[in-house]
């Protein structure tokens, strides 16, 4: 098979198609992870996007399924420089090509991902389309037209497609936490479960009355795809419970909390996607390496007057990475503490703080 990738600016590149044949569209973004492609490919926050890896080789240790972050592939398509379809790792159960084919997701490799990454850094994330199939079935001109015709990602409700369809419980002996699923990663649930919380996971459209029915000790807003303004029900829930119960959030959850409390968000030029984002703690000056996957961020000056304090910033571009309000009982981070890619683990620091604060407020 061949693959043809088209961008809204008229760029058209041809490569080798793999995975499932078909034509898909979305926003093209790049991720800077060197390993961890299993986790990235199954991250629900990539919904509606074509995921391009900057590291030149993917698939070299196969696909085991042990590190999946959800039960399906998140991105619309995968874009790589090269793939390796003869992995020898003892945990591998299938190749990356087999994984995409079984999931019905197309991919393309053997193209210049460096050129595409530089283009996105210069011009911003772009609408794109990918066609994979036999040469007689694929038209480069068509994919550019498809890329240009699709709506902006900010207008799409991507959250409902990745949220759980109905409530579920993960029992524990500790405080009860209601987690609003906007596209939650498995590793976040694992991190909360390991601390003994009695967890109730609710769909993204859960109402205030439904949440109150579980009598939670705290509310947790998860990560997820797209524009936080689309999470209307979660925003209303935060507005209702702020100051009444502790509220925590990760990634999209931070943005939802900020919107609910009167702050503003904006779309980043090309987002933060990868495992090497430096985050500076403003109180200690310590910089930690973090894993991130988001396209939107808090507008810093809009936090004034909301009761929110900015606690962490990105050391590369100064974007907001952490917020807190002692008065309202709110804390959230823009990065993924559960992913812990750096030598200084952020998981215990964040989730340990969550556990201590919820327990203290129960007394």
Annotated binding-site positions: 45, 224, 226, 252, 255, 293, 296
Catalytic site includes residue 89: no
CB 211 within 8 A of CB 219: yes
Counted residue by residue, the chain has a size of 363
> Annotated binding site for L-glutamine: which residue ranges?
45, 224, 226, 252, 255, 293, 296
Which of the following is catalytic: 38, 39, 80, 251? Answer: 251
* Cα–Cα distance measured from residue 133 to residue 139, given in angstroms and rounded to the nearest whole number: 10
Phi-psi region of 154 (alpha: psi -120 to 50; beta: other; left: phi over 0): alpha
Which of the following is catalytic: 272, 273, 294, 336? Answer: 336
- Rounded to a whole number, what is the distance in angstroms from the first to the last CA of the chain? 63
In sequence order, the 6+-apart residues with CB closer than 8 A to the CB of 105 are 19, 20, 24, 73, 75, 76, 77, 78
- Identify which of 84, 2, 99 has the alpha carbon closest to the alpha carbon of residue 41: 99
- Identify which of 179, 183, 165, 154 has the alpha carbon closest to the alpha carbon of residue 44: 183
Catalytic site includes residue 164: no
Return the SS3 of 327: coil
Catalytic site includes residue 338: yes
| CB-neighbour burial class of residue 334 (10 A; exposed 0-12, middle 13-18, buried 19+) | buried
Alpha helices in 11-158 (DSSP H): 37-41, 96-103, 113-123, 140-149
* Cα–Cα distance measured from residue 305 to residue 290, given in angstroms and rounded to the nearest whole number: 29
Catalytic residue positions?
A: 251, 336, 338
């Amino acid at each position: 098979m061949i693959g043809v990738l088209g961008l809204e600016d008229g760029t058209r590149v041809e490569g080798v198609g793999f995975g499932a044949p078909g034509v898909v569209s979305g926003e093209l973004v790049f991720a800077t992870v060197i390993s961890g492609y299993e986790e990235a490919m199954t991250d629900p926050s990539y919904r509606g996007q074509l995921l391009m890896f900057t590291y030149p080789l993917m698939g070299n240790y196969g696909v085991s399924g042990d590190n999946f972050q959800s039960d399906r592939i998140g991105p619309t398509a995968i874009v790589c420089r090269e793939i390796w379809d003869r992995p020898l790792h003892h945990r591998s159960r299938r190749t990356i090509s087999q994984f995409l084919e079984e999931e019905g997701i197309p991919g393309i490799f053997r193209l210049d991902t460096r050129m595409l990454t530089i283009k996105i850094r210069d011009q911003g994330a772009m609408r794109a389309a990918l066609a994979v199939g036999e040469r007689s079935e694929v038209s480069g001109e068509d994919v550019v037209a498809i890329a240009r015709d699709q709506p902006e990602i900010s207008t799409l409700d991507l959250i409902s497609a990745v949220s759980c369809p109905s409530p579920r419980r993960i029992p524990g002996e500790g405080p009860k936490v209601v987690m609003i699923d906007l596209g939650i990663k498995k590793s976040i649930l694992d991190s909360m479960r390991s601390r003994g919380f009695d967890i109730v996971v609710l769909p993204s459209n859960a109402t205030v009355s439904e949440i109150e029915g579980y009598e939670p000790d705290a509310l947790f807003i998860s990560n997820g795809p797209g524009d936080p303004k689309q999470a209307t029900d979660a925003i209303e829930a935060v507005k209702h419970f702020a100051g009444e119960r502790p509220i925590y959030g990760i990634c999209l959850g931070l943005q939802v909390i900020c919107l609910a409390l009167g702050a503003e968000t904006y779309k980043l030029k090309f987002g933060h996607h990868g495992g090497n984002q430096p985050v500076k703690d403003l109180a200690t000056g310590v910089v930690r390496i973090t894993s991130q996957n988001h396209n939107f961020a808090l507008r810093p000056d809009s936090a004034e007057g909301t009761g929110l304090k900015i606690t962490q910033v990105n050391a590369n571009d100064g974007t907001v990475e952490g917020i807190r309000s002692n008065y309202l009982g709110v804390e959230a981070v823009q990065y993924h503490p559960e992913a812990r890619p750096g030598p200084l683990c952020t998981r215990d620091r964040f989730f340990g703080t969550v556990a201590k604060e919820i327990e203290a407020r129960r007394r």
